[in-house]
Amino acid sequence: MTTGSEIRVSFPRLRARLDALAEIGALDGGGCARLACSDADRVGRDLVVTWMRDLGTRVEIDVIGNVIATWPPDHFDPPVMMGSHIDTVATGGIYDGCLGVLAGIEVLETVIANGIETQHPIAVAFFTDEEGSRFHPDMLGSLVYAGGLAVEEALATVGVDGAVLGEELQRIGYAGSAPCPGRPPHAYVELHIEQGPVLEASGATIGAVTGVQGISWIEVTVTGQSNHAGTTPMTMRHDAAYVAASIAVFVRKLTEEMGAPLVGTVGRVALHPNLVNVVAARATFTIDLRHTDDTLLSEAEERVRSHCDTIAAAEGVDVSIRSLARFEPVAFANDIVDLVEEIARGSDGVVMRLPSGAGHDAQMLARVCPAGMVFVPSVRGISHNPAEHTDDVDLARGADVFFALVLRLAGAT
Ligand code: GLV
Ligand code: MN
Ligand code: MN
């Protein structure tokens, strides 16, 4: 390694914290459910905050519930910030987000225990509602931190279950007082599992992440007319379920036509009245489109809208579209990408540069400071699934590379 030092992080300590956090909201058969601002999220937050405080860091909670621990506690210059999230999707694995936060805590513990001095302070953060499964958009806490969404608007967000984010933050005890937007860090870096198959398929074990693709989330509501499934002739229907299905098929065909790296997903569908013998009066569903090129992402959005209009007119239904999230592609700081590559080359790993398919808090922090990410492989590319897995040897190597990266950025002396 090119840390210029023999000091290493403790992988057993990181592994123990990953396993302890995984017990909170644990699902039968593996994985975790800690939706943002749920009771399980509160218990997970409390545990991570205890670890932060036990290290003697300065722990601050901001108005949107982001938690930041800084070392040394009395050093107020912009820090090299590490971070990620500890909320999960409802069918989450145990590494998505948690790896970045707990590796950050491990870096801090190693720095503190070894008396390593750095020119810039070092911080680790976990951001509220990165997943966006309960409250849209995703990366909500880091977006507010970076000044991309007003605090009042974010706090008023109504979740898929009808809960209000600000009220939920109060309820779980994480409506803090530190202001948002937050102070721009000196730099922001994040260790994360890849959540896709590219590293594994390429035989690489470390990813130097070049950026994050653009993300578009919309919610489509189709309003037709419910009627009797047996008596209503096919030519006289205003069938919301049929229109929803047509749009879902169109999204798949569009990805085939426009080609990679466009991806499109219909991930949430609700029909009303949702009965076997009733033509659906209403369909509400989401479309997630992503592309590394913003112009092509906009083209895909436009073509979906146009298909919605066409099929709505043909079936005699209304279609309304609400934007849930729209983020342009982000390129990470070249210096940081190069540094990750250089450090990884000095490890026993195989490094490759790649863009991220998933959204990340680093994508939001990149608006206000130089940012970058380190990826480790995901076995079979599976994520947002309890079966999400990364081998210990890869986690440990990633943590080593990440530690060396943070020391270099923070100016370890
Ligand atoms: C967030 O994790 C996303 O990429 O959807
Ligand atoms: Mn994540
Ligand atoms: Mn995720």
Pocket residue to mutate for ligand 1, from 383, 384, 388, most atoms within 8 A of Cβ? 384
Residues of the chain with pLDDT under 50: 1-4
Domain with CATH 3.30.70.360 in the chain: 214-327
Ligand closest to 192 (CA) is 2
Specify the pLDDT at position 5. 64
Residue 283 CA, ligand 1 centroid: distance in Å? 24
CB of 359 closer than 6 angstroms to any ligand 1 atom = yes
> Ligand 3 centre from 98 Cα, in Å?
10
CA distances from 162 to 66, 165, 167, 168, 281 (A): 22, 9, 11, 11, 21
What CA–CA distance (Å, rounded) separates 223 from 368? 42
Is residue 288 in contact with ligand 1, taking CB distance under 6 Å?
no
Ligand 1, atom 3, lies closest to the CA of 359
Kindly report, as residue ranges, where domains of CATH 3.40.630.10 are found in the chain.
Answer: 11-212+329-410
pTM for the full predicted model:
0.95
Q: What is the pLDDT of residue 304?
A: 98
* Contact (Cβ atoms closer than 8 angstroms) between residue 63 and residue 179: yes
Q: What is the pLDDT of residue 271?
A: 98
User: What is the rounded CA–CA span in Å between residue 286 and residue 267?
Assistant: 6
The CA 92 to ligand 2 mean position distance, Å, reads: 10
d(CA 304, CA 310): 10
Compute the distance from residue 6 Cα to the ligand 3 centre, in Å: 34
Is 92 a pocket residue for ligand 1 (Cβ < 6 Å)?
no
Residue 6: per-residue pLDDT: 86
Give CA 382 to chain center in angstroms. Answer: 15
Write out pLDDT tens, residues 25-46: 999 999 999 999 999 999 999 9
Task: Decide whether any atom of ligand 1 lies within 6 Å of the 87 Cβ.
Answer: no
The number of helices, as runs of H, and strands, as runs of E, in the chain is 12, 16
CA of 362 to the centre of ligand 2 (A): 10
Atom of ligand 1 nearest to the CA of 357: 4
Per-residue pLDDT at 1: 45
Nearest 5°: CA angle at 187, between 359 and 335? 85
CATH number of 214-327: 3.30.70.360
Q: Distance between CA atoms of 400 and 347, rounded to whole angstroms?
A: 8
CATH architecture of residue range(s) 11-212+329-410: 3-Layer(aba) Sandwich (3.40)
DSSP at 3:
S
CA of 238 from ligand 2 middle (Å) equals 40
Cβ 137 under 6 angstroms from ligand 1: no
Ligand 1 lined by 138 (C-beta under 6 Å): yes
Q: Is 97 in the pocket of ligand 1 (CB under 6 A)?
A: no
- Sequence-distant (≥ 6) Cβ neighbours of residue 277 within 8 angstroms: 228, 229, 230
Return d(Cα 244, Cα 266) in angstroms, integer: 10
Is the distance from CB of 305 to CB of 319 less than 8 angstroms? no
